[in-house]
Structure 1
Amino acid sequence: MSLPKPVMRGMLAKRLRIHIPAAFIVSLGLALSYKYLVTEPRKQAYADFYKTYDAAKDFKGMREAGIFESVRPTGE
């Protein structure tokens, strides 16, 4: 009793008919999940931060802390 020969003719085309749409669906799903689970919360966090951010106040605090070498703290 011997094993039957594998069918080699057309095997690549048969596999690709299944794997290419599956790969497309998986990649689309990953892209959408990354967009809604990573980038949208990040954009919202930046928007929330910059609603109350005062650049002048932050600069003044860094200047008084001595972070900048070219800017001296003033007695405002």
Structure 2
Amino acid sequence: MPDKLLDASGLQCPMPLLKTKLELNAMVAGQQLEVLATDPGSARDIPAYLAMSDHRLISQSETEGRYRFVIECGQS
């Protein structure tokens, strides 16, 4: 069960990624963030950012144009 939920539905690129970064910056290592988005660019942008960070993508899914990410906050 994620510790926080970020609903970025309806936001266009780059806002889902920027809001994800801000939310992760406010979290403690080990906490989990669930991100919901509708922008198709999120499916590329969020995992790409996480690959370059200390954060870990736990799961990613897409259902009917809704993207869901569960992220574990790393050391920042």
Computing the radius of gyration from Cα coordinates, the structure with the larger value is 1
State the TM-score bracket (shorter-chain normalisation): under 0.3
Give the TM-score normalised by the residue count of structure 2.
0.23
Give the TM-score normalised by the residue count of structure 1.
0.23
